[in-house]
A and B are shown apart, each in its own frame.
Chain A
Amino acid sequence: MTVHRGAEAAPTNGAGQALVRLAGVQKHYGNLHVLKDIDLDVARGEVVVVIGPSGAGKSTLCRAINRLETIDEGEILLDGEPLPAEGKGLARLRADVGMVFQSFNLFAHKTVLENVTLGPIKVRKKSKAEAETRAKELLERVGVAHQAAKYPAQLSGGQQQRVAIARALAMDPKVMLFDEPTSALDPEMIKEVLDVMVDLAERGMTMIVVTHEMGFARTAANRVVFMADGAIVESADPETFFTNPESDRAKDFLGKILKH
């Protein structure tokens, strides 16, 4: 399967104005240097897969991009605008960045439909009717429309993750971040979530995806970014990266995961 993209899609690194730009980003947890001088440009419509060993800082990178974590130095721009430090401006910018977590994090006391409409109603100030119409469309698209009245606990992991994707999409984000969206899923549910993500990529969504699913990276990614020990070690198109990695770290890492 190959992804066919629109004409405007995906120039690689640096060309034109990046939708997401990280420049010289540094972060420490105490003595631990978790993000080391990260420079990363993600173009509009580009799909970037981030891979790397555990503890490399992949989650921290994602969380820094919508400022769930603060950074010590450097800057992060979204559509040319720097992330505001606090308050209303930050909340507004966050709404433009969709985030999908490993553990779904659906609101347990709300139905599937309410999970998807909460943000549009309370943050985007849409009317309830408008939000529900759109939510139903999105739930249809991710294949859980018939579960709309249920509570998250009544759904399988794969269904919950698809609802979480719909919840993020309902905000009409400019970019979607996925932090190991399939790692908590049983094998038979991984595909249904990946299919939704591939579909999103085909529609031209800008995506930053932390995942070890090589199949997804090969199918949908424009670029693979390999991180280790808090730094970006290598950045290449998927074919090059998987067949002919440059660094020893990447070779070593691929050797380990491909053996299984």
Chain B
Amino acid sequence: MDVVWEHREAIALAFAYTVLLFVFAGVGSLIGGTLLTAMRVGPIKVLRWAAAIYVTLVRNTPLLIVIFFFRLAAPKMDLRFDFVDVVLPTTVGDVRINNIFAACTVGLTVYTAAFVCEALRSGVNAVPLGQAEAARAIGMPFAGVMRYVVLPQAFRASIPPLANVQIALLKNTTVAGALGVSEAFIRMRGLLNDNPTARISLFIAFAAIFVVLVEVLSFVANRLERRVRVA
């Protein structure tokens, strides 16, 4: 455990990357997934199709491939993230948000949004159609029907599957390490190489931190679910 303590700052910095990737991609995927859901259940055929194709395509592609696409193929299509270069100073060191970090965030967002869409769509299906009709009947346009009537109930119904999607995202951030973001996984691999004798305690430490983070997420989801449950 001495090795873990000795490298506590490096480990904390690594998890700062992990958490940032998670927060950006988490928020992004919730927004993107919500828009995809609206497209999928909306009145415009082309958008319904586009969303369905997106979800099928992205959901069935390995995450690593999606992320590599944004890192390596997207620049060839003039989709670059070079304009991203921010340094966040922290007490444990600088967090550098650069083009690689951005590509990973976009990849994670695009990938997770497909799953958010699926989770949310099951929630939308749980909202009785009659309520949407009643909303249309009082003159609400489609956007209003979704925003005020359907989506609030759909979110409530899909908090558990949405929480699962976000938990998967938290763990999926480790893939960003493969592209060179110094997040938790990469840091762990480095420490394992440098400290062959302390491998067990390093594994335990990293796993334990992930467990704590996931538990925090689960706790928040549970609280949220209880708070919004309709009487």
User: Bound state CA distance, A124 and B136, in angstroms?
Assistant: 13
Residue A91 lies at the interface, judged by CB distance under 8 Å to chain B: yes
Name the one of B133, B138, B139, B153 contacting A109, with C-beta atoms under 8 angstroms.
B153
Using Cβ atoms and an 8 Å threshold, which residues of chain A touch B230?
108-109, 151, 153
Chain B facing A: main interface SS: helix
Using Cβ atoms and an 8 Å threshold, which residues of chain B touch A109?
152-153, 156, 230
Name the one of A88, A108, A168 contacting B138, with C-beta atoms under 8 angstroms.
A168
Residue B141 lies at the interface, judged by CB distance under 8 Å to chain A: yes
Residue B20 lies at the interface, judged by CB distance under 8 Å to chain A: no
User: Bound state CA distance, A153 and B230, in angstroms?
Assistant: 9
In the complex with contacts A95-B138, A153-B231, A122-B130 CB distance below 8 A: no
User: Bound state CA distance, A35 and B153, in angstroms?
Assistant: 35
User: Bound state CA distance, A171 and B135, in angstroms?
Assistant: 12
Chain A facing B: main interface SS: mixed
Residue A94 lies at the interface, judged by CB distance under 8 Å to chain B: yes
B231 touches A151 (CB 8 A): yes
B133 touches A101 (CB 8 A): yes
Name the one of B138, B152, B153 contacting A94, with C-beta atoms under 8 angstroms.
B138
A105 touches B138 (CB 8 A): no
Using Cβ atoms and an 8 Å threshold, which residues of chain B touch A108?
128, 131, 153, 230
Interface residue total, chain A, C-beta cutoff 8 A: 33
User: Bound state CA distance, A140 and B138, in angstroms?
Assistant: 21
User: Bound state CA distance, A87 and B44, in angstroms?
Assistant: 12
Using Cβ atoms and an 8 Å threshold, which residues of chain B touch A245?
none
Taking the closest CB of chain B, its distance from the CB of A213, in whole angstroms, is 21
Using Cβ atoms and an 8 Å threshold, which residues of chain B touch A98?
137-138
A-B contact count (CB 8 A): 76
Using Cβ atoms and an 8 Å threshold, which residues of chain A touch B3?
none
A105 touches B139 (CB 8 A): no
Residue A118 lies at the interface, judged by CB distance under 8 Å to chain B: yes
Residue B149 lies at the interface, judged by CB distance under 8 Å to chain A: yes
Within 8 A of B (CB), among A131-175: 150-151, 153-154, 164, 167-168, 171
B138 touches A171 (CB 8 A): yes
Taking the closest CB of chain B, its distance from the CB of A65, in whole angstroms, is 10
Residue B140 lies at the interface, judged by CB distance under 8 Å to chain A: yes
User: Bound state CA distance, A167 and B134, in angstroms?
Assistant: 10
A122 touches B231 (CB 8 A): no
In the complex with contacts A109-B230, A118-B148, A151-B230, A94-B133 CB distance below 8 A: no
Using Cβ atoms and an 8 Å threshold, which residues of chain A touch B137?
66, 68, 94, 97-99, 168
Using Cβ atoms and an 8 Å threshold, which residues of chain A touch B128?
103, 105, 108
Using Cβ atoms and an 8 Å threshold, which residues of chain A touch B190?
none
Taking the closest CB of chain A, its distance from the CB of B39, in whole angstroms, is 17
User: Bound state CA distance, A108 and B231, in angstroms?
Assistant: 9
B interface with A by C-beta (< 8 Å) = 128, 130-131, 133-141, 144, 148-149, 152-153, 156, 230-231
| Extra A-B contacts (18), CB below 8 Å, given A97-B137, A104-B130 | A66-B137, A68-B133, A68-B137, A95-B139, A98-B138, A103-B128, A106-B134, A107-B149, A108-B128, A109-B153, A118-B135, A122-B148, A123-B139, A123-B140, A151-B230, A151-B231, A153-B230, A171-B139
